[in-house]
Structure 1
């Protein structure tokens, strides 16, 4: 069985990925699209296809069907569709194919799942416990971890945005931070007093870990460099697992919690959209469904005629 992509089919993928980088698509997107398209071309080559122009709609459908039969999730199927559509639209514009075979593909429907979120009490308990543990830790680690949890929950920032924070991004006069989100778009996010207190406690110890590799990074790893996203994810999981009642969530779980609790507290949808950095309001609206589901669950538990 062929496991490598022949040059005639692989070179266009390389050029397409260079195009994605040039238009500033994220590294994760480029890697995912490359993986999808290489899988498509291996599949096509096994069917005797040697040139890009030979890939037709039937071949694309056969590839998607094979992926589905192989256990691909609906979300993965949706990405396969997006990869093929984007690639062949680009190939058509570049004159690599005369017609776009992916134009007739139908997108896979992805069921919308409501995210698990912490309750406000669980979030408060997790933060308070983290701050307490930080006070018992003689090293800077506990204070850094507490600051990570507080900023993730207070600002609803993405883990990449948190790790990218520089000292110049902290605005104490306005109690805000500046983060750089998807597409290198900057936005301003407010933080509350507990998050600033946790940051102050960490910054008072940050100098103990500073090395030439630290630069202006707010959050550091134990060796002094800018903290890695994987380390942040591990820290969040560790702290949430310490609370027996809290779901085991990562940094994105704290982002979900922040959005849900804001809406439950009466914040308007547009403000939450701006804080989260969502381009589409429909992305933010999922949190209104979470709140509705909570109300329904409470009604069914408590109302005698539910």
Structure 2
């Protein structure tokens, strides 16, 4: 709402001081136009939805009539689509990332960090976890017998993903080094520079979960060591969805595993149509000079 207030007042008034009850259709339409110019459709529509919610509150408080509310709210959603951000990670680059972790895992002094990072990258890939989801995992979230991981995602929605394809082995190695703990303790812990797993903070208290920024730094360190193009935590998620759709083609199942509330979000990561378009384009040839 702060963004809309600043747009509507030429930057002079914030959301708390803006007279929302004075908004009329022409103002709302102008706001929609500015949002459409500066933001992706999904983001712009979320802002418009929030504005309509405020207008409804103004009506409930008796600050505007129902007719004024309805007219000001009668703006069309912003149309359009955007390609999903990031990139898919090729198989060779994935291998290089895990090889970078393995190089440390084979060094007794750095073993814990190498094993931990490999397990984290494995869950980012085979589980399609968001970095906040990975950072907040608890010991009780992983069922080694079922090879399943309970995820608390956006909107406090829980889902279950599966540590398959070798991820279960990497997790077993990490848990062996991590040691036992209470069920609500973090699954992943910091590793000190001397290679020891840091279970307690300097005050002797149990260490809290890793931050999502730590997850970002782990990925950054590993792609640099692997000497590949830049990779973000979200790129693992994009690769997860794309690879699964390639493998099974079942949009509904992949949507559930990814924790998407809208199947259209999952469909944006489907690479099959992109490959078909590339194949079609390959049939066209530009004549070279001298031909």
- Equivalent residue of 1:287, what SS? coil
Q: Which residue of 2 aligns with 1:238?
A: 221
Name the structure 2 match of 1:293.
274
Q: Which runs of 4+ in 1 moved over 6 A?
A: 303-306
Aligned to 1:13: none
Residues 87-102 of structure 1: pairs in structure 2 closer than 5 A: 87-98=54-65, 99-100=68-69, 102=72
- What residue number does 2:39 align with? 73
Q: Aligned to 1:52, which of 7, 13, 20?
A: 20
- Aligned: 1:86 with 2:53: yes
C-alpha contact 2:104 2:113 (8 A) present in aligned 1 = no
Give the direction of change, closer, same or farther, for the CA distance of 1:123–1:50 in structure 2 (3 Å limit).
closer
- Please say which of residues 130-139 and 271-280 is displaced more in the overlay: 130-139
Counterpart Cα distance in 2 of 1:91 and 1:120: 54
The farther-off stretch of 100-109 and 251-260 is 100-109
Relative contact order (alpha carbons < 8 A, sep ≥ 6): 1 or 2 greater? 2
When the two structures are superposed, what TM-score results if normalisation uses the length of structure 1? 0.72
Displacement of 1:150: 0.7
Contiguous gaps of at least 5 residues in structure 1? 1-33
Per-residue deviation, residues 66-123 of structure 1 (Å, max 9, x unmatched): 5667xx2335544432332333234434544323254222222343214421123332
Question: Quick check: 187-196 or 34-43, which moved more?
Answer: 34-43
| Aligned counterparts of 1:61 and 1:281: Cα–Cα separation in 2 | 29
- Structure having the higher Rg: 2
Aligned counterpart in structure 2 of residue 284 of structure 1, from 256, 266, 291: 266
Q: What is the alpha-carbon root mean square deviation over aligned residues?
A: 3.3
Is 1:108 the counterpart of 2:90 in the alignment?
no
TM-score, reference length from structure 2: 0.76
Q: Deviations over 1:132-173 (max 9, x none)?
A: 333336243222211111111010112222122111111112
CA distance in 1, matches of 2:100, 2:106: 10
Higher helix share: 1
Structure 2 spans left out of the alignment, 5+ residues: 192-200, 202-206, 287-291
